[in-house]
A and B are shown apart, each in its own frame.
Chain A
Amino acid sequence: MRGVLAFKRFARSVSEPSDQDLVAGALNGEPAAFAELATRHRSRVERICQRFFSDLEQVRDLAQETFIHAYGGLKGYRAEIPFGAWLRAIATNLCYDELRRRRRRPEELVADFSVAEANWVGLVNTATPEELVEAAEERREAKTLADKLLATLKPEDRLVLTLQNGEEMSISEIAAIVGWSEAKVKIRAFRARQALRRQAARLVRPRKGGE
């Protein structure tokens, strides 16, 4: 099975032009080359945008903007960086700009809960720790609620946590993409986690007396 996959990958690499070939084609004024690049990387770019925004239209707009910016900056693209990673950096920066433009207030959080999310908060307040771990695996609303908590943070906090936890990027990778020092990324990540826990703690009812 693995051999078949490897062969398919090899065959594709032989028959299909590489990203670098397509970039060269686009720079030579071939629209089809850039269209192929966009088709090839579209889903990845949209996935990154979805890490930051749930609105599908917004995601598509940002993905499109990413390709438009990429087209405008193709001359500055350097071949030693994978094209997908270069696009990811553009998409991330565009999403960050958008986050800064429309910052949400924490007060909006509770009003935004769906019934399922409110039920999840209720369960978190009442269930035993073991029940919680089991329930969280099955419940999609556990993730959507965590995303809503994340959405209340400052744009820079949200950016760092999304890249670190959603995209599983290292500190150095994040620093390279957003143009901050590694120390700043570390500090920002630490503060972002603290802020997120503070937001979550607001939803947990204090208990009286131990058992």
Chain B
Amino acid sequence: MMNCFEARQDFVGFWQSALEGERRRELLAHLKGCLKCDRAFRAFALTAPMLHSGGVAKTEPSIGAAAHDAPQSMRQDAPHLGFPIDMNGLRRADAHRAAEILRRASVYRLADRRPSRHWREVAAGLSAVAAAVLLLYFSVATPSQSFDDALVNTDSISETTAQPDTDFLGQQIPTIPAVSSDLAG
């Protein structure tokens, strides 16, 4: 009878259909009887498509391989290959020139370089300052006439509510008697 350790060792082989015969039957029997291993196998099944499926075939020798094939003097440099260029020290002029070459060559047609995070931060900062200045202005500066003043001032009301005495042809409009007087009449 297979134990838990042996069973889990065979998960990969079983997943890749490389486990056959008696060993396969033993594993299946173990999974049926052992709740912990059954659960472990199901968790394994969720990760296996990523961890234990065939990956992309290598098409080129890699940096690591190059480092190992190189003579001893070169091999000492291998750790430096990890950072083949200074990732932060890119000159702006070079970056723009490269982006322009890529764009002209239609390698990245739509790829006008996005503004860098630095510029985005600056833009966000300026927007925040502008908003703060506006807020300060409206909270400190008092308008020349408040809304209440406008309501109290009768002149301004009469100006806005005055009725014209003439119609649009310039003729005098006859005064209409009040309804209440007609009814009283």
B71 closest partner in A (C-beta):
A80
B114 closest partner in A (C-beta):
A61
* Interface residues on chain B, number (Cβ under 8 Å): 69
B51 x A161 contact (CB < 8 A): yes
B85 x A73 contact (CB < 8 A): yes
Given contacts A69-B87, A133-B15, contact A166 B94 (CB under 8 A): no
Determine whether B95 belongs to the interface, using a CB cutoff of 8 Å to chain A. Answer: yes
Determine whether A173 belongs to the interface, using a CB cutoff of 8 Å to chain B. Answer: yes
> Contact check: which of A38, A143, A149, A177 meets B102 at CB < 8 Å?
A38
What's the count of A-B pairs with C-beta under 8 Å? Answer: 225
Main SS at interface, chain B: helix
Report B38-52 residues with CB < 8 Å from chain A CB. 38-52
Determine whether A20 belongs to the interface, using a CB cutoff of 8 Å to chain B. Answer: no
Determine whether A110 belongs to the interface, using a CB cutoff of 8 Å to chain B. Answer: no
Given contacts A86-B63, A88-B63, A133-B17, contact A165 B51 (CB under 8 A): yes
Determine whether A3 belongs to the interface, using a CB cutoff of 8 Å to chain B. Answer: no
Q: Within the assembled complex, what's the spacing in Å between the Cα atoms of A123 and B91?
A: 53
User: B residues within 8 A CB of A39?
Assistant: 105, 107
B60 x A77 contact (CB < 8 A): no
> Contact check: which of B15, B41, B65, B81 meets A89 at CB < 8 Å?
B81
Instruction: Looking at the assembled complex, report how far the CB atom of A159 sits from the nearest CB atom of chain B, in whole angstroms.
Output: 12
Q: A173-B63, A196-B51 provided; 11 other pairs, C-beta below 8 A?
A: A35-B102, A69-B90, A70-B85, A71-B97, A72-B94, A81-B66, A82-B61, A88-B62, A133-B15, A179-B80, A179-B82
